[in-house]
Amino acid sequence: MTRAPGSPDKPRVGITIGDPSGIGPEIVLKAAADESVRESCSPVIIGDFAELRRQSNLLGLTADFRSITESEIASKHFTEPVVFDTNSMNTPAKWGEVSAASGRASISAIETCTKLCLTGKLDAMATAPINKESIKLAGSSFPGHTEMLTSLCGAPQSLMCFFAGDLKVFLFTVHTSLSNAITDLTRDKIVSILTLADRELRRFGGSKPRIAVAGLNPHAGEHGLFGLEETNEIAPAIEECRATHDIDVSGPFPADTLFVRAWRGEFDAVAACYHDQGLIAVKCLAFGRAVNVTLGLPIIRTSVDHGTAFDIAGRGIADHQSMVEAILLATRLFRKASSSR
């Protein structure tokens, strides 16, 4: 990834509006107006310009941002937030409703922002939440952002990781059933993911991370009494990573105490066996402040730690702090990655 031509010290961060039937446009507009965001980067909002204008007027939000072209993104510096218009909606979004139209608008923003990052016109991207049902109605075969971005970037592998202050939590399995997650926990997969996580965390942190692996079963299997996955798959993978790949990884540890130990500073990152094992801990400890980071991509991508919140869409009460945190982290990760080259 190359730096945008002529760009100054502030990174250009593309901010997708997410599902326009949810709180995405609202939190993006609020975050773009936040002083800390404007000081740290040059925000480029990616989405349907007319829909953003409509929602900003209805919600009483500032939206005096001008629309720019792709060539302008690459050649000019912006002191105020700007919008790259995807022109992806024919009719206004209906707040709180699942729809193919909103799904298509979500996909269009993601595809556009990814392209602008891959071509070096943007330095990083931060995404507002999408609705999985809506993108499915729009014809997408992907269950979520992570899988879609992995395909768009042509990446062989990616990893969902949550940054919650000094704690990082990444997942061995993501959008799959619990039964499938258990069968997916093979030694080879665990080794592959731990290797990727170690490489990427060094890329963004600059030092060798201390990684702890959560057990799948209660008490991490209790030496086979409550399950054999730890003995047969997880522990051998950890030993292989330590011996062959020089990774500072340990475990498996009982999950009910591991996250507290890591939160207190004993470890830099925790590997969770399945989606809710990791995310319940993250959201209890840092909801609204945690940021989803996709590791393994050739671009930098961050996202909020919550969903589309259809139940409060259009009411003007959505908390935009996680969107702010996602944008600020995207800026910091870009600077760290740039300094390590």
Cis peptide before 43 (omega within 30 of 0): no
Q: Which residues pair with 171 in a beta bridge?
A: 272
Tokens of 115: 């392209």
Q: DSSP H helical segments within 9-63, as ranges? A: 24-32, 35-40, 49-59
Residue 108 CA to residue 89 CA, distance in Å, equals: 10
Give the CATH number of domain 164-293: 3.40.718.10
Give the pLDDT of residue 287.
80
What is the structure's pLDDT at 26? 97
- Secondary structure (DSSP) of 191-257: HHHHHHHHHHHHHHHSS---EEEE-SSGGGGTTTTS-SHIIIIIHHHHHHHHHHH---EEEEE-HHH
What pLDDT does 118 receive? 96
What was the pLDDT predicted at 321?
92
Bin 270: left if φ > 0, else alpha if -120 < ψ < 50, else beta: beta
Answer for the pair 120, 1: CB distance below 8 angstroms, yes or no.
Answer: yes
Query: What is the greatest pairwise CA distance in the chain?
Result: 63
Question: Residue 273 and residue 258: Cα distance in Å, rounded?
Answer: 13
Domain range list for the chain: 1-155+297-341, 164-293
Side-chain half-sphere exposure of 114, counting CA atoms within 13 A = 20
- The pLDDT, as a whole number, for residue 332 is 93
Answer yes or no: same fold for 1-155+297-341 and 164-293.
yes
Per-residue pLDDT of the chain (341 residues; tens, 9 = 90+): 444 433 457 899 999 999 999 999 999 999 999 999 999 999 999 999 999 999 999 999 977 788 888 888 877 677 788 999 999 999 999 999 999 999 999 999 999 999 999 999 999 999 999 999 999 999 999 988 989 999 999 999 999 999 988 789 999 998 889 999 999 999 999 999 999 999 999 988 768 999 999 999 988 767 877 778 889 999 999 999 999 999 999 999 999 999 999 999 999 999 999 999 999 999 888 887 889 999 999 999 999 988 999 999 999 999 999 999 999 999 999 998 877 66
Structure-block tokens of residue 122: 């943007």
Q: Is 1-155+297-341 a CATH 3.40.50.1780 domain?
A: no
